[in-house]
Amino acid sequence: MAVDVRWATTEDAAALAAMLCEMAVHYRQPPLAAERALAAARKWLAEESPAYPHFALAFVAGEVSGLASVAIAHPGIDLERLLFLKDLFVRGEARNAGIGRALIGFLADHCRRHGIGRIDLTTEDWNEGALRFYARLGAERHGQKIVLRLSGESLAVAAKP
């Protein structure tokens, strides 16, 4: 099966929106309204810089089958940029068919061609399939970091002077 992975463009808004809706359900979130997801996808894709795209999509036979949402961060203490993989999602019926591997390969190749030294990512502790997938790729667990979040009220409090 041939998997076509590419950076999403504004023409891919409907495909991105469909993946966002499916991903919300998979990650145990309330279902997203399709119109809201499409509006967000259109907005995000229109705002992207060609130098730092944010979404890679995987297609099989013209149908969207996978999504990678990324951010590229500039140098830290090692003076190498890093690609942060926020989400990697493959549709349920397309899992275990090489789509996740194709997305990671696409991202790793992008990193190597653009001098990006590593890919960092997180996954839920309950997501055994993801943990096995990343272990097969050779991903190392780093217990040095604790994930913290500012959202909702805490974000509003942090925004106040």
The answer, yes or no, to whether residue 160 has pLDDT greater than 90, is no
The pLDDT assigned to 143 comes to 77
How many Cβ atoms are within 10 Å of 137's Cβ, its own excluded?
13
Return the H-helix or E-strand segment holding 29: none
* Residue whose token pair is 């013209």: 62
Residue type, 61: A
Q: Is the pLDDT of residue 146 over 80?
A: no
0.85 exceeded by the pTM?
yes
How would residue 140 be classed by pLDDT, with cut points 50, 70 and 90?
confident
Confidence check: pLDDT of 155 > 90: no
| Residue-wise pLDDT tens digits, 38-76 | 999 999 999 987 767 799 999 999 999 999 999 998 876
Name all domains of the chain by residue range, CATH numbers in brackets.
3-159 (3.40.630.30)
The mean of the pLDDT values for the chain is 90
Tokens of 43: 């907005």
